[in-house]
Amino acid sequence: MLRRRASSFISNANKSLFIRRPGTLPIRLLATAPGTTASQPSTKFNNTNKLDNKIEANLTKLSIALSNLPSSESSFPSVPPTSVTKPDPTNHTFHLPDDLSHMTTSDTLDLLEYFLKPPYNHTLHPYYFSQILKSATSILDSRLAINKIETEMLENTTITVIGDLHGSLSDLSSLLQTISPPSPTNIYLFNGDYVDRGLHSVEVLSIICCLLISSPNSVYLNRGNHEDTHVCKAYGFKAECNSKHLNWEECGKFFENLSLAHLIPREYNGGALVVHAGIGNCDWKEFCSISKGDGSILKSGILEDITWSDPDFTVSGIRSNEIRGAGSFYGGDVVERILEDCGRKHFVRSHEPRYNGVEHVELFDGKGFYTVFTATDYPNFEGCNLAGVLQFNEGGEKNGPEIITWESEELVMTSNDVNETGYDNGLTCMKSKLLEEIFLHKGERRGGGERSDES
């Protein structure tokens, strides 16, 4: 039913949607947006980065070392926030409720609409950005490092794992269209890497925080390797905050309060262990003993492994990850052992882009290993990879989770407001027809009983 509704959205929005169950070929429902070609280069990400992962880790470690020097900050100039006081009601900015505990999913969709309206350069006022970070951090504070997703076990409840978004607001927008906004029967688990590389990390992080605040029992967040002030200092988020006059340092507390792993209950396709990247050389008992990160995640063995590692099923056991220069390579035997220990059937991670959005590797005894990546047009694939999410269904013990993928929305990006940092200031032009279609249906979604007003 969700898929049927999603396809009617997508049809009007000039995009393609694939729905694939494990072991079947994708079903192409709709035509590719006119004017797009498979070889079209990505315009959503900072292509000056060649995504060399070893350089990424080495740069981060260098950044950590530099940060320990007294004068190191001089090489990373900050733009101080222009204002942290509440904007006057007459200010033509987007205003959030005074008491954020009263914020609804509808308010969050209004904010998304504001971000996507012409002239395409809207962002949150520094006061509200600070307020939502504080509110989201206080919700995360009560959650465990290895957190269990609790659901009300309502009929037809789904838990959807969302992979890296990397500042791609259009992919977050199409996610909300495709699987509908979070609700008590539509649980979201964002699996890290919300910021860096893309042009709208501030807006992506703002919408994710607002979804968490408006639906705290329906939204869960894992920490990725880019939710680290040392990493996002080098990969775009800090520069973007500076260009939008936001206090970047306030994000540090939010990052440190993110959970590192989530357990999906066994009633949902046998359950799953979900981490951003992987696991290292530790048993389940050690894994469960970790606490949330304090400062950089590159300083601690287990945290670094969870957020930086990659699978290598050609070998068994654990070995150092010489490609990234951080984290480990782990074999299928390591995954199978930890699944046995935690009593779950599937292992889900993100961290690496996949051409088809989701990659599934079948392990022994029906157990599954999944890589989920949700940002489209990623530079690794010349800008033509699909978005993917993985959906767990209540009562679906006998089957695997459902893979849902779709193509990117057609976008026209401009960079005519590049500031001195070389960073596009957020002037993203989306085709007006697409925008009209997205928000034409927003009222329908609200009317469908999916609006969440929980606080």
For binding to Mn ion (CB under 5 A), which residues are involved? 193, 224-225, 351
Q: Which residue is nearest to Mn ion (CB)?
A: 351
Task: Name which of 274 and 430 has its Cβ closer to Mn ion.
Answer: 274
**Cβ nearer to Mn ion, comparing 351 with 445:** 351
- Minimal distance, residue 228 CB to Mn ion, in Å: 10
For residue 103 the two structure tokens come to 């914020």
Known catalytic membership, residue 441: no
Between 81 and 278, name the residue whose CB sits nearer to Mn ion.
Answer: 278
CB of 427 to Mn ion, least distance (A): 27
Tell me the closest approach of the beta carbon of residue 160 to Mn ion, in angstroms. Answer: 19
Nearer to Mn ion, 137 or 225 (CB): 225
Work out the angle at residue 428's Cα, subtended by the Cα atoms of residues 422 and 429, and round it to the nearest 5 degrees. Answer: 140
Q: 406, 17 in Cβ contact below 8 A? A: yes
Asked if 140 and 221 touch (Cβ cutoff 8 Å), the reply is yes
Q: Are 328 and 337 in contact (CB under 8 A)?
A: no
* Nearest in space to 454 (alpha carbons), one of 76, 175, 181, 47: 181
Type of residue found at 339:
L
Alpha-carbon span 401 to 1, nearest angstrom: 16
* C-beta of 193 vs 377, nearer to Mn ion: 193
Q: What's 74's DSSP letter?
A: G
Asked if 278 contacts 293 with a C-beta cutoff of 8 angstroms, the reply is no
Closest separation between CB of residue 239 and Mn ion, Å? 19
| Cα 85–chain centre separation | 29
> How distant is the alpha carbon of residue 230 from its chain centre?
19
Number of Cβ within a 10 Å radius of residue 269: 26
Taking the least distance from each CB to Mn ion, the nearer of 13 and 298 is 298
Taking CA atoms, 328 is separated from 87, 331, 410, in Å, by 47, 10, 37
Q: b/e string for 94-113 if b means 16 or more Cβ within 10 A?
A: bbbeeebeebbbbbbbebbb
Which one, of 106, 299, 144, lies nearest residue 221 by Cα?
Answer: 144
The C-alpha atoms of residue 289 and residue 145 are separated, in whole angstroms, by 9
Q: How far is the CB of 276 from Mn ion (least distance, A)?
A: 6
Q: Which CB sits closer to Mn ion, 278 or 368?
A: 278
Hey, what amino acid is at 22?
A: P
Q: Are 240 and 423 in contact (CB under 8 A)?
A: yes
The one catalytic residue in 226, 262, 346, 360 is 226
In angstroms, give the least distance from the CB of 253 to Mn ion: 21
Report the nearest approach of Mn ion to the CB of residue 421 (Å). 23
The catalytic site residues sit at 226
